[in-house]
Amino acid sequence: VQLLGCDALVWSGHKSFGPTGTGALWMRAELLERLEPSMIGGGAIDALGPDGFVVAQEPAWRRFEVGTPNIAGLIGLGAAAHYLNEQLPRHRDGLAQLTKQAHHGLAALPGVRLLSRPNRVGIVSFCLDAWSPHAAAMALDEDFGVMLRSGHHCALPLMRHLGEAKGCLRASFHVYSDEEDLDLLLAGVRALCEQQ
């Protein structure tokens, strides 16, 4: 986070082979200190004062740790992080290459608009001129066995800014992806483009 220079960083556990409902949030201390918790409860309070609960102030993150943590989920997230720490170094170059090949292969097809850059390892976001994202995802799944995410991807403001009100398609590559997956993706999208 120091190298990125970001104000906040969110990590979703289920996108890293971890259990759903797990993840992490990091914020700059000065931002965290200004935020008020949306709920209070055990662990986030220091005492009961005459006007109600006295919310914990130090350390600032404690105000947001309400109730019993998802202990089993966090153990699972730790196991997933351990697995990825072992696997990613072995697969990083291959993932980068697959992403670049997917980006360049899709860019060569008429009717494809790329929204991501080739240096975004593991992710390629794009739209098809003649297909809604949902219809294209369904066709690629049913006819080619290619599963993509479709829609706004929890980024509706960005989609509106990009002029993609219906959203986009997102192909994701990970440690289990290979050239065959890429070939299926490109063949499927090529076939959809030819149906325009």
Sequence-distant (6+) residues with CB within 8 A of 132 are 166
Q: Among residues 141, 134, 140, 99, which one has the least CA distance to residue 120?
A: 99
Do the strands 23-27 and 112-114 form a parallel or antiparallel pair, or are they unpaired? unpaired
Residues linked to residue 113 through DSSP beta bridges, in sequence order: 127
Burial status of residue 106 (CB atoms within 10 A of its CB: 0-12, 13-18, 19 or more): buried
The single residue of 6, 127, 154, 193 carrying the catalytic annotation is: 154
Scanning the structure block, which residue is given the tokens 């991501």? 116
Nearest CA-CA partner of 42 in 53, 34, 32: 53
| Strand boundaries in 103-155, DSSP class E | 112-114, 123-128, 149-151
Preceding amide of 59 cis, omega within 30? yes
Active site residue 154: yes
Residues designated catalytic: 154
